[in-house]
Amino acid sequence: MSYSGPHSDPFGPTDPYDPYGSPRPRRSPLRRPLTVALAALVPGALLGWLAYETLGGAESGGDGGSNGAAGAGVGAGTPTGSLGSPSDSGSGSSDTPGTLSASPSQEAAPLKGKVVVIDPGHNVTNSQHTAEINRKVDIGTNRKECDTTGTSTDSGYSEARFTLDVAHRLRTLLREQGATVKLTQDGDRPFGPCVDERARIGNAAHADAVVSIHADGSAEGNRGFHVILPASVHEGAADTRAIVAPSKDLGKLIADDFARSTGSSPSNYIGDGTGLVTRQDLGGLNLSTVPKVFIECGNMRDTKDAALLTSGAWRQKAAQGISEGIVSFLRG
């Protein structure tokens, strides 16, 4: 929106809409829309605060809404309480000032307080560090390579690039839902992390859900996605008994939403058409103490699946499906 041209100042040095009503230095025209928006919000905020003072006492002891600012945010019709965007001001005048709805901030941020760890499988530069990634680490049931290079399409689009791209898209979607999101790697380290460290990152974050993103490297003609669930493992450093059930719930929800969002079918070569596979040989699952699944989004070695995996629009659908599954799981 624009209230004035770049070289005019129709409100003059003492802006009648200035809530402080006092002369102040001429400001950049770029600031005016925000000023007007803020000024428009003040009456609504005041009414909201008054309504809060009148009605809100009964709700004292609620989760964090026990101050005037929170009530004002509701009254002004800005569910997030953010005054940062001038475009938000339109909704303030259309809402009834002072109406206290149940929890608009929760509706806007249903995953507020939840922690999600995204594990982008492999690492784009693992291939330059073969000695490091071939080092064996303890995964409870046995010892296994620290990490692997992952697969790629026939045209050279690597699994590691795919996983990081989907992870970024997924992170954006989950943050929009209010979640705290952490990645195990963000192209910011020369190799790895090793699979045991990937698990520990989720554990240390006390993640409410962890998803490890992958794409498979199977034969041409093998198509579709599958979600890998942790088996019940109690051996050495591994004890998945507490996470088997919640991880299965998480995996089923992700599989359903992934299928719907992407239109992809469950794998035609593993999982008997369910899109679900349980494994006890993955350190990233064996060493997890928080609900965690892997998803193999498709088969990079199949021409038709590769056409999907290399499409940014399809990867967005993939991230959307995974995000929706996580949201369903965490909202219960």
Active site residues: 296
Name beta bridge partners: 213: 120, 295
DSSP 101-168: -S-HHHHH-TTTT-EEEEEE-S-TTGGG-HHHHHSEEE-SSSEEES-----B-TT--BHHHHHHHHHH
* Closest distance of CB 120 from Zn ion, Å: 10
Name beta bridge partners: 216: 299
Name beta bridge partners: 229: 278
In this complex, which beta carbon is closest to Zn ion, that of residue 161 or of residue 248? 161
* Closest distance of CB 204 from Zn ion, Å: 22
In this complex, which beta carbon is closest to Zn ion, that of residue 65 or of residue 121? 121
Which spans of this chain sit near Zn ion (rule: CB under 5 A)? 121, 150, 214
Q: Give the H/E segment covering residue 226.
A: strand 226-230
- Residue ranges in the chain assigned as alpha helix (H): 32-55, 68-75, 89-94, 104-108, 130-134, 159-176, 195-204, 244-262, 283-286, 303-309, 312-331
In this complex, which beta carbon is closest to Zn ion, that of residue 177 or of residue 288? 288
- Closest-CB residue for Zn ion? 214
* Closest distance of CB 159 from Zn ion, Å: 5
Name residue, tokens 């979640």.
Answer: 179
In this complex, which beta carbon is closest to Zn ion, that of residue 214 or of residue 301? 214
* Closest distance of CB 148 from Zn ion, Å: 7
Q: How far apart are CA 282 and CA 230, in angstroms?
A: 8
